[in-house]
Amino acid sequence: MTHERLVTMIRQATKDVFATMLGIELEDHPEYLGVTAPGPSEGVLAIVGLAGAWAGSGSFSCSALMAQKISGQLLMQEYSAIDDDVLDAIGEVTNMVLGNVKTVLEEELGPMGLSIPTVIYGRNFTTRNVGKSQWTVVPFQCIGEVVEVHLCLEPGKELSAKISVAQQQVPAILTMLG
Amino acid sequence: MSLDVMIVDDSAAIRKILHRVLIQADVPLGKVIEAGDGQEALDKLKSAMVGLILSDINMPNMDGLQLLGALKTQEATKAIPIIMVTTEGSSAKVMEAVSLGASGYVRKPFTAEQIKEKLAGLI
């Protein structure tokens, strides 16, 4: 699964969710590959886990003010602070975005599970993942601010073992052919 | 005649949105009962019967497909129309829901019109 394919899936799913559920048209910002777990140091961050032949994590992040705006659009009421409604709304937006990415991924990678979202709100926090996974980071311009969707996906243990065996067999096959 | 409806979703946001859509759809609403997962839905149905259920699939404790299976095997609840409203969009999940007896399947994100269309055939 390439970074470019993931970017295409994330862009489509995120724009679809925002246009359909929030009435917000997102604009693209340049995507990039992050070598450590990306994310803001403050604001709202929602994370879901993906599991299957490929596994990983996905997240959505935005400022506290943007979280209030998004929740207001979703629930048709104004929010002046981060409360349970706002955290729940951002969790659900994340669930919809990455759930739709998962549906497209399943066509190529087989069945996957999606965890219940975990939503974090605070200031001066750090996120990181164990290991050296690369993250596909897809930012969008959203009502004057930037929001980001992050996705890290790697072959699961079983698939990794098969790939490892296959990689070990390639030199042997090449030697036989040589 | 009013229609009592149960909305099952672990997201309070989605429960609010679906409640709003039901009002917009001019459904002659009676009671609207909310549940955060399948088990809570089953528990609440012991004391209050409804004429329609809208249910998510991915939920803690008991998911929507388990709830659907349980309701369709109980005499008292097997005739209740159940519409799945979920991010789960794979054809395998849709087929599973249909085979268990779901009356409709709506993928999130959804428009109010999509929900109304599904309701039109049932009410």
pLDDT in tens, A4-21: 999 999 999 999 999 999
Give the pLDDT score at A129: 74
Partner-chain contact A92 B13, CB within 8 Å? yes
CB contact under 8 Å between B90 and A88, yes or no, is: no
Residue B109: cis peptide before it, omega within 30 degrees of 0: yes
Question: B84 to each of A36, B77, B88, how far by Cα in Å?
Answer: 37, 16, 10
Closest Cα partner for B32 from B43, B16, B46? B16
Q: Both tokens of residue A7?
A: 């970017």
Contact A106 B109 (CB under 8 A): no
Comparing alpha-carbon positions, the chain B residue that sits nearest to A21 is B109
Nearest to A28 by CA among A149, A127, A128, A130: A149
pLDDT in tens, A72-94: 999 999 999 999 999 999 999 99
Enumerate the residues of chain B whose CB falls inside 8 A of the CB of residue A85: 12-13
Instruction: Compute the average pLDDT of residues A162-178.
Output: 54
Residue B26: per-residue pLDDT: 84
Per domain, the residue ranges of chain A are: 3-175
Superfamily covering domain A3-175: CheC-like (3.40.1550.10)
Q: Decide if B114 touches A, using CB distance below 8 A.
A: no
Instruction: Map tokens 């990181």 to a residue.
Output: A128
Q: pLDDT tier at A128 (50, 70, 90 boundaries)?
A: confident
Instruction: Decide if pLDDT at B91 tops 90.
Output: no
Q: What is the pLDDT of residue A178?
A: 46
Token pair of A133 as six digits: 């996974």
**Nearest-CA distance B64 → chain A (Å):** 14
Domains of chain B, earliest start first: 3-121 (3.40.50.2300)
